[in-house]
Structure 1
Amino acid sequence: MGVERVQDIASLSKDEIPAEFIRSVDEQPGITTVHGEVLEVPTIDLADPDEEKVLQAIVDASRDWGMFQIVNHGVPVEAITKLQAVGKEFFELPQEEKEVYAKPPGSQSVEGYGTKLQKEVEGKKAWVDHLFHNIWPPSAVNYRFWPKNPPSYREVNEEYAKHMHGVVEKLFKSLSLGLRLEGHELKEAASGDDLVYLLKINYYPPCPRPDLALGVPAHTDMSAFTILVPNHVQGLQAFRDSHWYDVKYIPNAFVIHIGDQLEILSNGKYKSVLHRTTVNKEHTRMSWPVFLEPSPDFVVGPHPKLVDHENPPKYKTKKYGDYVHCKLNKIPQ
């Protein structure tokens, strides 16, 4: 008897869902979502010739929202479409083929195919299966967790990683200048060229009771920031003014989440965004976040240039790997 995957549970669920997927009343999307209103998260056109305006928009959104969407980001539509196609194909393989890539029991890394990511509060489960693997730098890549099927999977993901670099550089530079640091300093403080690009594929099967379940419960990302592309099925929600709102879907845009490490590095000037995912009754939702993370042994804390007598450090300085361990195991930081 293998691990129970949500994809299997979904195929057996007709009108109801197992009790462990039913969220508490203060989390149920049917009750806690502001219905009929879509959150107009800032959308930033990276191709706008007014670079000062783009820079300011990125800084304002990172400070006031912790999230924004970018369009005309320079990543070819074809690269995104192919990434989504091979990921979808993998999740549609027979279960035993996917289990070959299962996260090994007791592994310290998140890499691999799985269902449970972190310690579950009150034993509640999320309506999602996932696949994690690093896509950059080459030294951090472990091909054991890259599907061999479909055959083009590796090529497509390596191509996508290449296209990510430009977006990552642009965002780090803007965010760095926004803190009145030199353009290169923020990325360096997040481990520079050792920065890990961790891809996650989220697979949210259709759910008979989308009003009661969550794909991913409320969280902030551990990363410096996250570059996410969803499929067309609505599901991303952000917490704003004490309420949950759907985030508008824009085809081929990237959703950017400011993560915990940028909040720490900026000593609280930028805010990591609290977000969650809802599921759909008829359709499978998928998303492909790339988490930009410091390497595990790299020490992260408020940037020395942003700390003085007036501005004492608001966060502890620690190895990124230790930060991840605490967060996934719900240990106070």
Structure 2
Amino acid sequence: MSMPLEGSHFELWSNVQALPESYVFPPERRPGTDEILASKDIPIIDLEGIDGPRRFEIVQHIMKPSQNCGLFQVINHGVSRDLTDQTMRNFQEFFTLPAELKARFYSNDLNSSCRLYTSTLNYEKEDTHYWRDNLTHRCHPLEDHIDHWPENPPDYRNVVGKYSIEARKFLLTMLELIGEGMGLETGYFEGELSKTQLVSVNHHIPCPDPSLTLGMPEHCDPNLISMLQQGDVCGLQVLKDGRWIGIAPLRDTFVVIPSLQLRVISNGKLASAVHRVVTNSKVSRTTIGIFLTPSNDIEIRPADGLHGSLTPMYRGYTYKELFSRFTGNDCDAEKALGCFKL
């Protein structure tokens, strides 16, 4: 049973009783039936007092998980609860809209300003599908993209626009703090290195058998830095010390993932978390991701002036080159980066 591009899980399978064969993974890739409990070891960074005497301490707290598991959580991030709640409601309502209101956004074109698709962009070619629908669109500069966004729900553009601006401010702050921790000059990550901003919203309806499939594959994000607003349903897992660890959704908390480009710029000192998403048999799950990405043609290489810098591990390349290698190797980060190792 296959999923046509013009359909989605919600419209076609809201009452499905058995997992379609095309969504059943090989035994070695299934999450299994064992409950994966949420870990208490995922660091939570409190940004309160970031412009005061706590700044050095906060930077050190950020650098430790950035160098180890490549993922941490942040509270007191500066984005209001009212705005995060409104944004989540708009995305949840979008996925429940009638198919005819969403039809114009269905696309597998990576260059589309706003696209809605099922599983991955390689749906027609992939051996096994992932249990998700995804809405992705560009959001910086706002005035260049907002007219391509959904007009329903009615306050979608207004609310998501405000959220995009605040999320960008937050991620640029995180980059500045990480830069300080690496010994880079102020403003290193501004401009072309963080030029592109995407919002990527995953929606997973209840799954008949979560033990047999995945909501997203295990992967490293290829961009510069990512943040995730989880909602209130578990599903995100990170690979830590050879085990899959669940990350419980916490109120007023963002998950931050320093991504592949930060690994290269740090000359391998920062980690990039391997993570995946499992499904839920009882409730739908919607999550909001914001990604900052370099412009396609700027050169990316290990930064000069790193604390204790050694011989560069990577040659220079453009993000366009890296992303081509990444998608060409089935989103395998190590194979993609291996093409640029010295």
- TM norm structure 1: 0.90
Paired amino acid for 1:294: P
**1:11-66 superposed Cα distances (whole Å, 9 cap, x missing partner):** 2421x2111211222221125x6634525210011004522111100111111120
User: What is aligned with 1:271?
Assistant: 271
Aligned residues: 325
Structure 2, unaligned stretches of length 5 or more? 337-342
**1:219-245 superposed Cα distances (whole Å, 9 cap, x missing partner):** 111111101101101001000111111
Secondary structure of residue in 1 paired with 2:305:
helix
Q: CA deviation at 1:288?
A: 0.3
CA distance in 2, matches of 1:321, 1:141: 21
User: What is aligned with 2:176?
Assistant: 173
CA distance in 2, matches of 1:110, 1:214: 27
User: What is aligned with 1:47?
Assistant: 48
Cα gap change, 1:88/1:225 in structure 2, threshold over 3 Å: closer, same or farther?
same
Asked whether the equivalents of residues 196 and 292 of structure 2 are also in contact (C-alpha less than 8 Å), the reply is: yes
User: What is aligned with 2:339?
Assistant: none
CA distance in 2, matches of 1:112, 1:285: 19
Percent identity, please.
27
Structure 1, unaligned stretches of length 5 or more? none
1:227 paired to 2:227: yes
User: What is aligned with 1:183?
Assistant: 186
CA distance in 1, matches of 2:67, 2:235: 24
Q: CA deviation at 1:295?
A: 1.6
Q: Please, which of 110, 117, 130 is the counterpart of residue 114 of structure 1?
A: 117
Q: CA deviation at 1:196?
A: 1.5
User: What is aligned with 1:13?
Assistant: 16
CA distance in 2, matches of 1:142, 1:37: 36
CA distance in 1, matches of 2:74, 2:307: 30
Secondary structure of residue in 2 paired with 1:304:
coil
CA distance in 2, matches of 1:286, 1:4: 18
User: What is aligned with 2:340?
Assistant: none
CA distance in 1, matches of 2:213, 2:86: 30
Cα gap change, 1:271/1:317 in structure 2, threshold over 3 Å: closer, same or farther?
same
Q: CA deviation at 1:184?
A: 1.6
Paired amino acid for 1:114: Y
Q: CA deviation at 1:4?
A: 4.3
User: What is aligned with 1:24?
Assistant: 26
Asked whether the equivalents of residues 204 and 279 of structure 2 are also in contact (C-alpha less than 8 Å), the reply is: yes
Asked whether the equivalents of residues 30 and 214 of structure 2 are also in contact (C-alpha less than 8 Å), the reply is: yes
**1:138-157 superposed Cα distances (whole Å, 9 cap, x missing partner):** 3752632x111111111111
CA distance in 1, matches of 2:178, 2:167: 17
Structure 1 stretches of 4+ with a deviation exceeding 4 A read 118-122
Asked whether the equivalents of residues 17 and 208 of structure 1 are also in contact (C-alpha less than 8 Å), the reply is: yes
User: What is aligned with 2:321?
Assistant: 322
- TM norm structure 2: 0.87
Asked whether the equivalents of residues 44 and 74 of structure 2 are also in contact (C-alpha less than 8 Å), the reply is: yes
Alignment of 1:52-67 (within 5 A): 52-67=56-71
User: What is aligned with 1:163?
Assistant: 166
Asked whether the equivalents of residues 119 and 131 of structure 2 are also in contact (C-alpha less than 8 Å), the reply is: no
Let me know the Cα RMSD of the aligned residues: 2.3
User: What is aligned with 1:282?
Assistant: 282
CA distance in 2, matches of 1:112, 1:304: 38
Q: CA deviation at 1:2?
A: 4.8
Secondary structure of residue in 2 paired with 1:177:
helix
Asked whether the equivalents of residues 132 and 201 of structure 1 are also in contact (C-alpha less than 8 Å), the reply is: yes
Asked whether the equivalents of residues 210 and 279 of structure 1 are also in contact (C-alpha less than 8 Å), the reply is: yes
Q: CA deviation at 1:111?
A: 4.0
Which segment drifts farther, 279-288 or 93-102? Answer: 93-102
User: What is aligned with 1:257?
Assistant: 257
Cα gap change, 1:257/1:27 in structure 2, threshold over 3 Å: closer, same or farther?
same
